[in-house]
């Protein structure tokens, strides 16, 4: 077996932006159609936004607004910020990003590891509010000498990047034969840039919109009416306004995709195709599958793996997080079991044994991001160790003995428990004592309920 020669070494990671691979999906129900995904996750910054970052920075350099040593300011749900950092840091610029608080932990860690100044703001306010991420970014750019507000939502270099690179790549990889391209809208650049390109180069190619349920865009296209925006967990696409760069006239068909369907599609893409995509990829794939199944004649359909799912391991690929969001298909019992995010019977509870060391307990708390651990011995609950117990034990010990102590020496053995059929109100006295609720079914340990678990339950029920 022979292979094509590998490309020569690139001079910079900037030279690796674009020319991403295409994969035809197998094993999916695509009706009479063939479905292809373009792996924008293969860009050096891990997303399609590397393309527009390079385009917008180079445009600002060309018009003189961005000078050597200057500061790039942007409002972003993450990937545009990562792209700007990927390009801007290599070019020697300072990067300041304003991001909504629903952004995944992995993206924030990635940005800060690159030396980016990340300012986190509220995701529950709209345009015009001082804490709205775009308004805050624009204000900061005005106040910082030498700063440029990139503004992906209005910057013409955004759609221009897709018209110049993404569109031609898709058409070439598909041998000039593309019936539909399924995209999402965050800033509108992908839709508008690809729409402009295909209108000229392949007029038969339809633009299909994948929109998270709660966003205003798909309802506006399908009904002509502006709805009150809702909320959604998919990151990077969906809007509560129409960006200047978003030309909805290119859209031939639009789908509103519920979060649960987006998550399921993203996870199916991993298990069936071995492709790790993010939450927006799941939304696009779900819409593409709907479109394909609705067709009566064969079509060649393309969608995008917008970014890598490695940025969403704590969310989309975290069963406990999905349970907290009410996005898992779990059996409901109509009692306190429905509030347990980490079920012991399903293997989700993070526990420790009495003979484990305090170092083990500490590491498990940190790894699972929890403040307390049930102590289990031969399948029986015999105690609970929390941060206070851990701190007290290590403070009172000699330095060389602190974390070598056994959990049994520090745990609380006298436990107040609740039966699963106890009323919801029974949780409040437990929380008032600054404790966690320990739920049993008879003598069987089912799991813990914390304040945030109750809050999540009440939010889902609202």
HSE at residue 299, side-chain half, CA atoms within 13 A, is: 22
Rounded to whole angstroms, how far apart are CA atoms 181 and 36?
9
pLDDT score for 22: 98
pLDDT score for 219: 95
Cβ atoms of residues 336 and 424 within 8 Å:
yes
What is the 8-class DSSP label of residue 277? B
User: Which tokens hold the place of 444?
Assistant: 């069987």
pLDDT score for 462: 61
Point out the catalytic residue in the list 38, 49, 107, 206.
49
Q: Cα 2 to chain center, whole Å? A: 39
Rounded to whole angstroms, how far apart are CA atoms 398 and 196?
70
| Residue whose token pair is 């209108």 | 199
- Order of strands across the sheet with 206-212? 22-24, 34-39, 300-305, 180-183, 206-212, 251-257
For the segment 335-357, the average pLDDT, to the nearest whole number, is: 86
pLDDT score for 461: 66
Is 78 a residue whose pLDDT tops 80? Answer: no
For the segment 354-367, the average pLDDT, to the nearest whole number, is: 92
Of 105-119, 274-288, 336-350, which gets the smallest average pLDDT?
A: 336-350
What is the 8-class DSSP label of residue 412? B
Rounded to whole angstroms, how far apart are CA atoms 173 and 19?
10
Q: For 383-426, how does the pLDDT look when each residue is reduced to its tens digit (9 = 90+)? A: 999 998 899 888 877 777 788 899 998 998 888 889 989 988 88
Mark whether 11 is an active-site residue. Answer: no
Cβ atoms of residues 417 and 441 within 8 Å:
no
Of 16-30, 83-97, 390-404, which gets the smallest average pLDDT?
A: 390-404
Rounded to whole angstroms, how far apart are CA atoms 207 and 433?
56
């Amino acid at each position: 077996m022979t292979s094509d020669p590998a490309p020569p070494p690139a001079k910079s990671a900037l030279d690796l932006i674009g020319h991403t691979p295409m994969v035809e999906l197998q094993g999916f129900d695509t009706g009479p159609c063939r479905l292809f995904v373009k792996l924008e996750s293969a860009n050096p910054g891990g997303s399609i936004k590397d393309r527009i970052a390079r385009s917008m920075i180079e445009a600002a350099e060309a018009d003189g607004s961005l000078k050597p040593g200057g500061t790039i300011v942007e409002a972003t749900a993450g990937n545009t910020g990562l792209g700007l950092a990927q390009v801007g840091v290599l070019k020697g610029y300072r990067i300041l990003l304003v991001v909504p608080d629903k952004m995944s932990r992995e993206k924030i860690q990635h940005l800060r590891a690159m030396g980016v100044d990340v300012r986190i703001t509220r995701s529950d306010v709209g345009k015009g509010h001082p804490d709205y991420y775009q308004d805050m970014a624009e204000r900061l750019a005005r106040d910082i000498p030498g700063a440029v507000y990139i503004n992906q939502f209005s910057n013409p270099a955004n759609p221009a990047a897709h018209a110049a690179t993404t569109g031609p790549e898709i058409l070439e990889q598909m041998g000039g034969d593309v019936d539909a391209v399924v995209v999402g809208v965050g800033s509108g650049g992908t839709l508008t840039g690809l729409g402009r390109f295909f209108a000229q180069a392949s007029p038969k190619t339809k633009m299909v919109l994948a929109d998270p349920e709660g966003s205003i865009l798909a309802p506006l296209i399908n009904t002509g009416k502006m709805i009150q925006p809702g909320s959604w967990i998919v990151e990077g696409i969906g809007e509560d306004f129409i960006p200047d760069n978003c030309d909805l006239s290119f859209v031939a068909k639009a789908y509103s995709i519920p979060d649960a369907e987006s998550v399921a599609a993203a996870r199916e893409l991993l298990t069936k195709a071995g492709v790790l995509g993010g939450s927006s990829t799941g939304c696009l794939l779900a819409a593409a599958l709907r479109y394909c199944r609705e067709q009566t004649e064969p079509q060649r359909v393309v969608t995008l793996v917008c970014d890598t799912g490695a940025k969403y391991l704590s969310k989309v690929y975290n069963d406990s997080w999905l349970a907290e969001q009410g996005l898992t298909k779990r059996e409901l019992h109509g009692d306190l079991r429905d509030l347990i995010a980490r079920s012991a019977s399903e293997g989700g509870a993070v526990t420790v044994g009495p003979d484990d060391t305090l170092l083990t307990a500490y590491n498990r708390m940190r790894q699972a991001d929890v403040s307390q651990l049930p102590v289990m011995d031969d399948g029986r609950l015999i105690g609970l160790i929390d941060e206070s117990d851990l701190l007290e034990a290590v403070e009172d010990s000699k330095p060389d003995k602190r974390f070598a102590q056994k959990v049994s020496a520090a745990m609380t053995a006298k436990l107040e428990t609740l039966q699963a059929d106890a009323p919801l109100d029974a949780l409040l006295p437990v929380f008032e004592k600054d404790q966690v609720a320990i739920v049993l079914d008879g003598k069987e340990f089912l799991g813990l309920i914390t304040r945030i678990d109750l809050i999540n339950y009440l939010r889902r029920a609202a």
